[in-house]
Amino acid sequence: MCVVPAALLAACSLGDDDGGESGPTTDAATTSEAASDDGSTDGTSSSVADDPSTSGAESGTDAPSVARSGPISFASQIEPIIERSCANCHTGSGPGTQHVRLDNASLVSLSAPGLAPVIETGFMPPWPAGGDSPEYQHDWSLTTDEIATLLAWTDAGGPLDVPDDHVIEPPPDGGVRLDDPDLDVLSRGSYDGTAGQPDEYRCFVYDMGLDEGGYITAMDFRPQREQVVHHAVGFLVDAADVADFDEVDGADGQGGWTCFGFSPSPSAELVYAWAPGQAANRYPGGTGLRVEAGDVFVIQTHYHFDVEAPPDQSSFELDVVVDSDAEADDMIAIDVSTYLGPAEIPCTSDESGPLCDRNAAVADAVSKYGEAGFFANGILAICGQSPDDYADMTDGIASSTCDQRVNGIGSIIGIFGHQHELGSSFRMTLNPDTPEERVLLDIPRWDFDWQLIYE
């Protein structure tokens, strides 16, 4: 199992050039930024909107207040909540439609008995970011008044003051999926696993087919077999390195090749991450990820075969502004940085077994993933730590932190944190332990099923 507290940070580059896992594991964070002030970060990978002018409105700012007397109006009080916080996932082709469909008023009303318990317990809508985080765009969380309004409406039986076929529509921007992507790229080949086999980390090439450079402005990984696709990370690879994959791609009779780690080729840059619950990743207007003609994406897909499934050939949807487009002249390039933190978890004092010896665990990991797939020691070195710093954490709870220098200048526009399934909480801060400290992402109760890119 790969436990990596990681943060992925995406940022717009504003430098002169632009004008503008069994065994010791790791935690990673990836960030997209439009270059930030020089400082250090504490935590794992993430992407966040650091500029108040671009971040979302405070949760519930336009929320309808709970009815004080008389019947609750579906049109003026319930529908605005459903459209803002539920419709993205539960209408059209949203990922939540396999569980509950809310495409029209009648379906919302029929779902009223089931809505109450998931709303009251906070299970829905999912929004793991805690109160110490900055304000983000597309905040799905509900205010106290909104919860009270919804519960009162469900208690009343879900009455309607609109026609049954009244359409429920998500907000016009920031939908969960890319409805009309410029490119819809299939992986080279498919992979067919068997229920019960060991976890498979499979790299696939995704050819964009671009004959000129440009900027990727939005990305959306679409797993074909969600029941076995566990998570995925995407690397942008220079055209010059594509030939390096010819010998391994499909060599075992299936699409792609077994891979592990963060470097499928010398030029590979980790620029994207997908996990359950993740929506399409859109960059702010006028910004994008720079690509050149012939560049490809390599997406490392983690398969977990606890069920039998047909072969998987996932797709990668992209919006792109090419250099011949007039708007390309004013585009600002996005930089993506990944910050890794240790995930050393020794056995508890009452556990025993061969892998409780760290050296044996390291040897086991290397035998499975190769030297390139084992990077726990390297992360400890980056963080100025050693296994001894964690050796006494034998009560079943291990915690780690790592301060690293920010490697870009600009404005942070998005943060994504990842720590697989064993994490319990997650925090990334800018300029930790200084008067300028600022929390970039705080998740007090980590949930692997809801890993979001916070914009």
Among 3-7, 75-79, 292-296, 375-379, which is the least confidently predicted range? 3-7
Residues 413/418/424/428 CA torsion (nearest 10 deg)? -40
Average pLDDT, the chain: 85
**Sign (positive/negative) of CA torsion 140, 143, 147, 149?**
negative
Region 317-337: mean pLDDT is 96
pLDDT digits 0-9 by tens, 37-59: 333 344 433 333 333 333 333 33
In this structure, how many other beta carbons lie within 10 angstroms of the beta carbon of residue 83? 16
Q: Hey, what are 33's tokens?
A: 């930024």
**Prediction pTM value:** 0.79
Best CA proximity match to 278, nearest among 204, 236, 220: 220
Please tell me the distance from the alpha carbon of residue 145 to that of residue 448, in angstroms, as a whole number. Answer: 28
Number of residues assigned to the chain: 455
Q: Hey, what are 245's tokens?
A: 């994959």
Q: Scan for tokens 């075969």, then name that residue.
A: 305
Residue predicted with more confidence, 176 or 64: 176
Residue predicted with more confidence, 380 or 61: 380
Phi, psi (deg, nearest 5) at residue 319: -105, 140
Omega prior to 52 cis, within 30 of 0: no
**Range picked from 1-5, 37-41, 185-189 for highest mean pLDDT:** 185-189
Q: Scan for tokens 């332990």, then name that residue.
A: 433
Please tell me the distance from the alpha carbon of residue 139 to that of residue 77, in angstroms, as a whole number. Answer: 18
pLDDT digits 0-9 by tens, 87-137: 988 988 777 887 899 999 999 999 999 999 999 998 999 899 999 999 998
Best CA proximity match to 205, nearest among 300, 270, 274, 311: 300
Which amino acid is located at 209 in the chain?
G
Position 12 scores a pLDDT of 59
Q: Measure the CA angle with vertex 435, ends 51 and 49; round to 5°.
A: 15
Q: Could you give the 3-state DSSP secondary structure of residue 308?
A: coil
The H or E element containing residue 114 is helix 112-120
Q: Is the pLDDT of residue 300 over 60?
A: yes
The H or E element containing residue 235 is strand 229-237
In this structure, how many other beta carbons lie within 10 angstroms of the beta carbon of residue 154? 21
pLDDT digits 0-9 by tens, 401-421: 999 999 888 899 999 998 887
Phi, psi (deg, nearest 5) at residue 361: -65, -40
Which amino acid is located at 315 in the chain?
S
Q: In terms of DSSP bridges, do strands 257-258 and 183-186 run parallel, antiparallel, or are they unpaired? A: unpaired
> Per residue in 161-184, is it b (16+ CB within 10 Å) or e — as a string?
ebeeeeebebeeeebbbbeebbbe
In 199-315, alpha helices (H): none
Q: Read off the pLDDT band of 29 (50, 70, 90).
A: low
Position 174 scores a pLDDT of 63
Best CA proximity match to 273, nearest among 339, 328, 370: 339
